[in-house]
Amino acid sequence: MGDMSSAVVFRWLAAGDAGDLDAFDELLHPDAVIHAPAGLSTTSADEEKAVWRDALAAKPNLRHDVQEVVVDGDVEMARVVVTGTLTASFAGVEGTGRSFRIDQAVITHLRDGKVVEAWEIADIAGLLAQVAER
């Protein structure tokens, strides 16, 4: 499978978790389109940075643990376990201080070594069930 950490999708998620949003300029096209659930789709690298900024503010311990990456030419796919604690409201979900662990798949299309379009598929129902007030 090679070295996962060299994949653009891996580096994008790692930079986001680290709060290194400036690195997105090297990893995403300026006009990258990211299709994401929960109303979080974006149409530029700057919009994507803003979503991550909000996500990190609401989930300071956000972590994308990449389980595997499959590369086929200019397509990279990652299977990811996302964990964190929702300490403040995000994407219309009230911050309850509860932790979550969900599965995510990220499919990216690259051009010139940068993400030009991506699709994020995540277990939002699982997330909501885990962070909801009981």
Separation of alpha carbons 32 and 49, rounded Å: 11
Phi-psi domain of 92 (left: phi exceeds 0; alpha: psi -120 through 50; beta: other): left
- The full length of the chain comes to 134
pLDDT at residue 2, as a whole number: 60
pLDDT at residue 133, as a whole number: 75
Check which CATH number belongs to the domain holding 70 and give it.
3.10.450.50
pLDDT at residue 56, as a whole number: 97
Digit-by-digit pLDDT tens for the chain (134 residues) are 468 999 999 999 999 999 999 999 999 999 999 999 999 999 999 999 999 999 999 999 999 999 999 999 999 999 999 999 999 999 888 999 999 999 999 999 999 999 999 999 999 999 999 998 77
Record the pTM: 0.95
Based on the structure, what is the number of domains in the chain? Answer: 1
How far from 17 is each of 22, 65, 111, 122, 134, CA to CA, in Å? 12, 10, 23, 17, 28
Separation of alpha carbons 76 and 3, rounded Å: 13
pLDDT at residue 68, as a whole number: 96
Yes or no: say if 59 and 71 are a contact pair by the CB < 8 Å rule: no
- Nearby residues of 113 by Cβ (< 8 Å), 6 or more positions away: 8
Domain, as residue range, for 37: 4-131
Separation of alpha carbons 34 and 17, rounded Å: 17
Counting Cα atoms < 13 Å in the Cβ hemisphere of 62 gives 22
